[in-house]
Every structure is written in C-alpha cells, then in structure tokens.
Amino acid sequence: MDDLAGLLGLDGNGEVPSGRIIQIYEVACRQFAQRGFDGVSMRDIAAECGISKATLYHYFPDKDSILRPLAMGATKSIYLHVARHDDATLPAVDRLRRFIVETATFFEAFRWAWIAGSTAFWSDPEARARKERVAWRDRYEQLLRDILQAGIDSGELKIGDVKIAGRLVLGTINWMPRWYNPAGPLKAPEIAGQFCNLLLDGLRAAPPAKAVRQRKKAVE
C-alpha cells in the first residue's frame, strides 16, 4: 500500500484523517496517473469510492484540491527523502548513488502520486501552489548538481557541464515511471543501481589509445 497519508502530511498533526479521505486520495491518484487529470471526472472518482458525487464535495471543495496535495506532496517529499539520505561527508560517487537509488525507492512507494504529479504539473490554476511546487523541484535538482560539483572538485568525477550531466541523470530517473513494471523481476532501486553503474563508468569498454584515434576518424 502507498501510505499516502505520510506523503500528504496527514498523520503528523493532531487531525485524524477520515479513512474516506485517504480512500478518495488513493483512488483519484491512480486514476489521474492512468488517464490524466482532464480524463477523470468527479463521477469516476465517486463511483470507484462507492459514494455519490455530492459526498465527494463534502470532503473536497473542488477537483483541483484533490490533485494539489498529491502533486505537492510528491514533489516535496521526494526532495526531503533524498536530502535526508544525503551525507555531504561521503565521497561524491556514493552520494550520487544514494541520490539515484533513493529516488527510485521513493518512486516505487509512491508511483501513482509521482506520475499524477508529473503529468498534471501544468494545470494547477493556483499560482502560489504552482510556485511552491517548482521551488521544491528546484531544490531536488540543485541537490543533484551540488553532488556532481562536489565530485568535480574532489576529482572523483570528470564532467564538462554540470547542468548537462544533471539533465542526463534526471532523464534516466524521470523516465522510469513510464516503463517500470512493479511485477517485473527487478525492483526499482535495483534498476537504479545498475543505471548508476552505467552512468559512472560508461558503456564503452576500456579502449586502447589507438582505438580512440580510429573512432575519431570514423566519425568524420
């Protein structure tokens, strides 16, 4: 189960979230992820929850306020999760591995919320919420770039452009939800670990110097 309550921050404070509210979040989250925000009607959500549409509006003022906490929670929690597991005293290579693997761990736990948030990013009409979400996303991406820069400074990594390298890493991670099969033989963190190995050491077999020359000629 997803433990969406944790992602939404509903379990920490004094409020006791109704089980119905959690159910609505879970149902809506999966439907948004699978068919998109516009592709899901309030009637759809109500039907799968086994309640009437009017009851849905007893718990939520409008459709946006179902998606918003999910999208915000996913974006904010992913940063808090990787930041909690980061340790700036470790070698940058290990920090990078943790960043990648912990992102996958998080994504596996909150797959639907992640997808729903990333596909419906553009539709929130409330500017403040949109801005806050972008800020958390920026923190997440900045942490990765900080790790890469630390690796350059320590001599562990050899990177021309930190921004480009960051895009490379983020692309591999962010594309995972599109094809990842939870029922497959490899769990997300294992795949992420292999990604990290490939990213660090490259696809190329260690070439003798003359092979490099030959390659350069062939490109021309």
Partner DNA sequence: GGCAACCAACCGATCGGTCGGTATGGATGA
Partner DNA sequence: TCATCCATACCGACCGATCGGTTGGTTGCC
| 45-74 residues near its own copies, rule: CB under 8 A | none
User: Residue 109 touches which of DNA, its own copies, none (CB < 5 to 8 A by kind)?
Assistant: none
From the list 34, 55, 123, 214, which residue makes contact with DNA (rule: CB under 7 A)? Answer: 55
Does position 183 bind its own copies by CB under 8 A? no
Report the alpha-carbon distance of residue 217 to residue 220 in Å, rounded: 5
With contacts defined by CB under 8 A, name the span among 15-23, 68-76, 91-99, 124-132 that binds its own copies: 91-99
CB of 194 to its own copies, least distance (A): 5
Cα end-to-end distance, the chain, whole Å: 54
User: Residue 142 touches which of DNA, its own copies, none (CB < 5 to 8 A by kind)?
Assistant: none
Helix axes 111-119, 64-85, angle to 10 degrees: 120
For DNA, give the closer residue by CB, 50 or 184: 50
Question: Which residues contact residue 147 at a Cβ distance below 8 angstroms, ignoring those fewer than 6 apart?
Answer: 86, 92, 95, 96, 99
From the list 2, 11, 48, 64, which residue makes contact with DNA (rule: CB under 7 A)? Answer: 64
Does position 54 bind DNA by CB under 7 A? yes
Does position 39 bind its own copies by CB under 8 A? yes
> Are the beta carbons of 209 and 216 closer than 8 angstroms?
no
Vertex 65, ends 63 and 71: CA angle to 5°?
110
Report the alpha-carbon distance of residue 166 to residue 65 in Å, rounded: 32
| 131-170 residues near DNA, rule: CB under 7 A | none
Q: Which of 73, 63, 77 is nearest to 32 (CA)?
A: 63
Residues near DNA (CB under 7 A) are: 18, 20, 40-44, 50-55, 57-58, 61-64
